[in-house]
Amino acid sequence: MIFVGTVLLLTSQLVLGNLHLNKIHGDTVWDTKSVVDEATRRNIFQERHGEWPDPKWIEREHPGYSKRMAERTATVMTHIDSQTRWDEWMFLAQARLMPTFTENQYDVVKAPPAVHAKLLSRFYDMLPSAEVERLGPELSGVDGGNRALFFPQEELNYEVLHELLPVFEEWAGVPLEPTSVYGVRVYRNGSTLRDHLDVLETHVISGILHVASELDAPYPIQIEDGKGRLASANLQPGDLMFYESAKCFHQRKEPMRGAYYASIFLHYRPKGWAMTRDDPRFAIPPYWSDGVDPNAKPVPGTRASATPEPPGGAEPSPARVIRFHNPPGAAPVTVAWISPSLPEAGGAAAANEVVVQVISELGGGGTAALHSFVGHTFVATTSALGPRDAAAERVEAAIAGESNGTRREVGRWAIGALGVVTVGDGPWELECRLDDSGDDSDEDKGQASYGGEL
């Protein structure tokens, strides 16, 4: 999923035998442009950088890379809608802020045969039951007539992530900590992948371990290196590609031709890594918005176009700025967006039609904001949402509770209190006054408060 805004970092543990493996998940959250007002942001830009590009970047960049970034900057400024322009500037700033760790920023080697063998064995067992990947094209970056397939194998993936740590450290030349792993993703005939960077906080040193494929033509990944050159790597089953995925733009621009192409994606960061998306946010120059049209719609297929469309085929309505507020002193809550809108009370939705996307984790006094439309549904809970399928089932159960059409509140389920709300006709805010006391009294239920103009 590719959104730009406040960052969500979740740390959990996976137990493999006697090993307790930390999992650090980096994700993004919708927001308008910044957690600070634009005037303050511009002041911070002047203090930190003074101009674009920052002369310090030019000193360390290869001339070919500086030239390529100038070309990208010119292209970004041709977008006239504000959100597309901002999102692309976030990528530009991130690319130039990120250090490089290796000479070419990518390399391809053979994965340890034993590692590939256990992934391959499970792949053939699981492929017949693989489901369509939950995220749509605007969020996953995968285009084409057939959406990618996906099947989970968390324990095996994290076992591999930690097993390969020394291999990645040797390539990167710095001590690393494992952060997350995704897969198995199975591209299908016609699939492409949009040009993008990975998550700044957690996907600093990454790898693609290509598990299996059945192709009619090569399906290369393109990557832009630290000299501004566009390289191409055509991975074979058992190949492991190292790459600096938060630094180097990468894509698959040639449509896949064949039956399937399956890989897992492994992510690490240097120990002590402290860079966050606030850094590129404050590196964007004041003139980023020159010439934008406030009435322009996001460019189709970009991250900005991932703002949910009106559900159920309804006529488009003006986007609402939805604000989430967790009162000071309240227990931490997780807020998620449910897509598509679930059926009315008592209905049932097919599991493969439900997407549960976490958009923020709010401590006491925390706030978050995003654009949405009338009819979209959000849920707040005091516990982690967990696997997508289980989360979807819990949300379906919640939405089937008592409802007055615009406000839905339910008591405690296995994950703690839930508050489920569907956006009404006016601007509103969801007050996440939830706790995890185990008491089913009314005071412990989710409360949705509808404010005036926000």
pLDDT at 278 over 50: yes
Name the residue type at position 187: Y
pLDDT digits 0-9 by tens, 64-99: 999 999 999 999 999 888 888 999 999 999 999 999
Q: What is the pLDDT of residue 430?
A: 43
Q: What is the pLDDT of residue 133?
A: 87
pLDDT at 239 over 70: yes
The pair of three-digit structure tokens given for residue 24, joined into one six-digit string? 């650090």
The residue-averaged pLDDT of 201-205 equals 95
The pair of three-digit structure tokens given for residue 289, joined into one six-digit string? 């918005």
pLDDT at 429 over 90: no
Confidence label for 236 from pLDDT (cuts 50, 70 and 90): very high
The residue-averaged pLDDT of 126-130 equals 92
The pair of three-digit structure tokens given for residue 57, joined into one six-digit string? 């970047």
Determine the Cα–Cα distance for residues 81 and 70; give it in Å rounded to an integer: 20
pLDDT digits 0-9 by tens, 407-424: 333 322 222 333 444 443
Determine the Cα–Cα distance for residues 167 and 174; give it in Å rounded to an integer: 11
pLDDT digits 0-9 by tens, 288-326: 999 988 777 766 655 554 444 444 444 444 444 556 666
Q: What is the pLDDT of residue 411?
A: 28
The residue-averaged pLDDT of 209-228 equals 96
Identify the residue with better confidence: 105 or 429. Answer: 105
Determine the Cα–Cα distance for residues 273 and 239; give it in Å rounded to an integer: 28
Confidence label for 101 from pLDDT (cuts 50, 70 and 90): very high
Q: How many alpha carbons fall within 13 Å on the CB side of residue 12?
A: 13
pLDDT at 213 over 90: yes
Those residues with Cβ within 8 angstroms of residue 389's Cβ, 6 or more apart along the chain or in another chain? 351
Top-confidence range, 6-15, 162-171, 335-344: 162-171
pLDDT digits 0-9 by tens, 12-34: 444 444 444 555 544 443 343 44
Provide, rounded to the nearest whole percent, the portion of the chain with pLDDT above 70. 58
The domain locations on the chain are 106-270, 308-444
pLDDT at 189 over 60: yes
pLDDT at 362 over 80: no
Q: How many CB atoms lie within 10 A of CB 206?
A: 26
pLDDT digits 0-9 by tens, 143-186: 887 889 999 898 999 999 999 999 999 999 999 999 999 999 99
Comparing 219-223, 289-293, 395-399, the range with the smallest average pLDDT is 395-399
* Average pLDDT along the chain: 73
Determine the Cα–Cα distance for residues 317 and 296; give it in Å rounded to an integer: 15
Determine the Cα–Cα distance for residues 414 and 417; give it in Å rounded to an integer: 8
Identify the residue with better confidence: 38 or 7. Answer: 38
pLDDT at 246 over 50: yes
Asked whether the beta carbons of 157 and 264 are under 8 A apart, the reply is yes
Quote helix, strand, coil % in the chain, to nearest 5.
25, 30, 45
- 127: closest CA among 207, 190, 212, 238? 212
- 224: closest CA among 246, 192, 208, 254? 246
For domain 106-270, give the fold: Jelly Rolls (2.60.120)
Q: What is the pLDDT of residue 95?
A: 97
Q: What is the pLDDT of residue 242?
A: 98
pLDDT at 247 over 80: yes
The pair of three-digit structure tokens given for residue 303, joined into one six-digit string? 């991250």
Strand partners, 13: 22
